[in-house]
Chain A
Amino acid sequence: MNFELSQDHKVLQSAVRDFVEKEIKPIAMKIDEDHMIPDSLVTKMSEMGLLGSYLPEEYGGAGLDMLSYAIVVEEVSKACGSSGVLISAHTSLASGPIYTFGTEEQKKKWLPALNTGEKIGCFLLTEPDAGSDAGGTATTYTRDGDHSVINGSKTFITNGGYLGTGVLLASYDRSLKHKGITAFIVDLSSPGVTILKNENKMGIRGSYTTAFAFDNLRVPVENLLGQEGKGFNVAMDTLNGGRIGIASQALGIAEGAFERALAYSKERKQFGQAISEFQAIQFKLADMWTSIETSKLLVYRAAWLKDNKKNYTMESAMCKMHASETATFVTKEAIQIHGGYGYIVDYEVERMYRDAKITEIYEGTNEVQRVVISKLLLS
């Protein structure tokens, strides 16, 4: 067994760390305030190759592996959870399924623009009445000649506001439940796509969370992803991989908050000594760090399993669940260590706390993760 990153992974980690330190960290607070990641940062992240880390070079990706991708999302999220989820949703939920289920023509057509960040990707599964219960998908399509015509609505679509490339799930017969669902690759700048709104959120405020209406959106038949009626499989497989991305985001947020809490505990003096001299604070730091290290082991292992073509369903559920709960725990304790200052925007841990909460909810709530884990244990 070897628990050390390879030299190549260390080179990547330090390169991304330097990039984040100079390009993202200084503007993370502004991203939260403005509810917007500046286009210039999206361009820089694209040029750095952060939007196509594990996709093969022949489709314009960097050709690295899932562990590299996890490290990228982790490092970015240490400074900015919004930028972390932009990368995660884009890579895992749009490029990922197109690469896994797409035909050679589809991969050649759609992946290069995604990998270079020319188009930002999103995954259109969730609806007002269907989220974790994907079988309840109410967006429908009918065939009209060489097009599928899509009608319905989608909600909580991360990255939706970019109107880039989406992987959309729709049903041709709602009575078939999950067996009636098909996945499509859609160009969201097409007629028939309307943004109902970009949500105003508690955290990850720089990231788009979009509600869409589809009114006779015409999608060419060659954009059908995978097989007709097999969209549910596309969705489940996609979310499996996506959980590693969200777990990495949660891990990064936790590490970012811990770093600040540790530094602050050594600076802040009360009763004539640094508060890190008090056992109450020391125990907090010990618990926080142990949780972070546990999450990291789970996340890296899930990525390693995927890289080695082993089954990783349970591990991706476990790492997502544990890392997200670590993120909310660590960010909460980071505020506590900061005392009153932690509640002030300038100290940034309050933003991290707000950013952390969503990681327990999206990409499958942690309740759903527990269902996945226990089902596999008992099957």
Chain B
Amino acid sequence: MKLLVCIKQVPDLESRFKPDAAGVWYNETDLAFRMNEYDEYAVEQAVQLREKLGEGTELTVLSIGPDRVVEALKKALAMGCDNAAHIQDPAASGKDPWQIASIIAAYAKDKGFDVIFTGMQSQDRGSAQVGVTIAEQLGLACTTTIVSFDYDNGTITAKRELEGGIKGVVKLKTPALVTCQLGLNVPRYPTLPNIMKAKKKEITAIPVVELLREEALATTASFHPPAKKGGGIVLEGDVSDLVDKVIAILKDKTAVLR
């Protein structure tokens, strides 16, 4: 069988974000990047399936972006992927979900992947469109936000998370694409021996121009970092007055007091 897992490298979300020069995305300078959280669940699930199927199964990890995304690919290789495809694109962050999905679909088209794993969404752009759009473009069965996964003889059985904690079970025939949600698994640590072994695994570099055929359908017009939070309300004065003020605020603004 052939498996593909698509990952994105995103900035540490606790970073301080500033707009880039064009004001349409964040400035990458001084940001620390790591693998998108949901993609870690995707990698872990793909590796677990790879281990279950054993010999004769090949798991490829793919990422689109500048050179730094190779770090995320190496991590995925150390977690147990067999080889990697780096779609080289310094301008990936400016592409819309349609273009990103098109690039991946163009890569995957002739390769006969049986199962494709993606994260539910990226932590930075958060469109949650790339996975389903790849499936649509490749004509694959697809299910989203899965929190459990099982594969047996050409059929995937996955539990999906719905609103309010409700779950549903879906079955789909391969070839298929699933998008992975928090709660699916606990991603393994890449161990030191596996980090070493990953150095010998192949990373194929493919310039994005070889795969990009589509124009953007939606362009980002502007980017706004979060406004600085205010310091809260400071109450001053006599203690008995303060108590009244606090009670008034609790009644007004919260459900603590009625």
Contact = CB atoms under 8 A, between A and B. Distances in A.
B195 to A, nearest CB: 5
Given A15-B75, A48-B189, A62 B70 contact: no
B192 A57 contact: no
Given A7-B70, A7-B71, A7-B74, A12 B195 contact: yes
B196 A64 contact: yes
Contacts of B195: 8, 11-12, 15, 49, 62, 64
B63 to A, nearest CB: 13
Nearest to B187: A18
B78 interface: yes
Given A8-B195, A57-B196, A64-B195, A15 B71 contact: no
A50 interface: yes
Nearest to A72: B192
Main secondary structure, interface of B, reads helix
A24 B194 CA distance: 21
B204 interface: no
Main secondary structure of the interface of A (DSSP, over half): helix
Contacts of A57: 193, 196
A92 B207 CA distance: 44
A113 B71 CA distance: 31
Nearest to B189: A19
A115 to B, nearest CB: 9
A15 B189 contact: yes
A: contact size bracket:
20 to 34
Interface in B28-84: 34, 70-71, 74-75, 78
A19 to B, nearest CB: 5
B222 interface: no
Contacts of A62: 191-193, 195-196
Contacts of A61: 193
Interface in B173-203: 189-196, 198-199
Contacts of B192: 12, 15, 48-50, 52-53, 62, 64, 68, 72
A50 B195 CA distance: 12
A8 B74 contact: yes
Interface string A42-55: 00000111101100
Given A8-B74, A49-B195, 19 more contacts: A7-B71, A8-B199, A10-B71, A12-B195, A14-B71, A15-B189, A15-B191, A15-B192, A15-B195, A19-B189, A47-B191, A48-B189, A48-B192, A49-B193, A53-B192, A57-B193, A62-B191, A64-B192, A68-B192
18 contacts: A7-B70, A8-B74, A11-B78, A11-B190, A14-B34, A14-B71, A14-B75, A15-B191, A15-B192, A47-B191, A48-B189, A49-B193, A49-B194, A52-B192, A53-B192, A57-B193, A57-B196, A62-B191
Top 5 A-B residue pairs of the complex, sorted by shortest distance between their CB atoms: A49-B192, A62-B192, A63-B196, A49-B191, A62-B193
Interface of A: 7-8, 10-12, 14-15, 18-19, 47-50, 52-53, 57, 61-64, 68, 72
Interface of B: 34, 70-71, 74-75, 78, 189-196, 198-199
